[in-house]
Structure 1
Amino acid sequence: MSHHHAYNEKELLSRIAENDELAFAAFMMHHTDNLYSYILKITKSDHWAEELVQDVWLQVWQGRKDFKALSHPLAYLYRIAQNRSIDWIRRNKRELKAQYLIQQQLVPHSENSFISKENFETTRRLLAAGIEALPFQRRRIFELKQSGLSYDEIAATLNISKNTVRNQMVSALQALRYLLQQHGDSLILFFFYFFF
């Protein structure tokens, strides 16, 4: 890092502390890619890494006056990112693993899949029927999430709150888990392991 760059960064932090949104945008643009990569390594989720980056920047903006006074603002930035990521993993562990398991059964079978080839088609059909049976909005949210959209993107697409999206996803996963349990499917063992 050059002295010129270091000086510019300090100047940006001073301007950010004075509510300069352009300076904040410049600071964000310079650090977002690295911050995203860092969070992605922790969460292993593209879409959640994007959301958590936004959360980190929101926290920095809200605490901008204190941020300016820090000796090592970047260390602080990454500490926020790490804490947010760890909190997110704790909150979403069960839901994430359930989504992963479902996705593994909806994609073409691979040799490393945990379920046998004989049971794969049965499981896939059962999950497809379970998804089809979900209430319309819940199914739509579930399908959009499986297609790769983030909660924020789904909320914007359907014009509903992010909390509604999250609650509907949890309900959808619970319904699918229950369906598999009722049918005695081998996958339910994994659902029980990850949910309880």
Structure 2
Amino acid sequence: MESNSEMLDKKELLQRISTGDEKAFREFYYLYYQKLVSFARWYINSIELAEDVVSDVFFNLWKARNSIVGIVHFDTYLYSAVKNGCFNVLKSSYYKRVTLGVDELEMEAYIEPDGSDSKLMYGELNAAVTAAINNLPERCKLIFKLVKEDNLKYKEIAEILDISPRTVETQVAIALKKIEQELYPFLK
């Protein structure tokens, strides 16, 4: 969930971009680029094409910079633009769709440094969390990543993926339950 200061910072950046501030646009680009490329990879199994789609979205954003301040839910707008760009690539004749690739989602865990084997425990726990997330069904994994890594709200994800907010909530609950089951040996 975004804090009020993060929302104000984002609005300020958008305001500066709308006036042609290239430095603000670079900041905004670096804030979103990796997240959006990772999201695009859920649809396109090519890092190059995913980067192209995201670059096109940013190019079009810069071209239409005068009107971006009026966009109410900007995160939803960006992710939807990337998703639509991916669909356009998938529909095009020069792209053959193959199995979707997924970047690994890393999570941090905190272990009390009470002995020499704490690094080993951390490594095992981190590997178990990564494996648990990677074992989720694809759609569930995508929704979990958008909630936990990209900090999007359920309503925003529902709009981006064209599903109900209740479906998002259900998928997150399923993900958490499956992850908890796989991490049970670590829970004492």
Question: TM-score, length-normalised on structure 2?
Answer: 0.49
Of structures 1 and 2, the one with the larger relative CO (CA 8 A, separation 6+) is 2
More helix by share: 1
Mark the structure with the bigger radius of gyration.
1
TM-score, normalised to structure 1, is 0.47
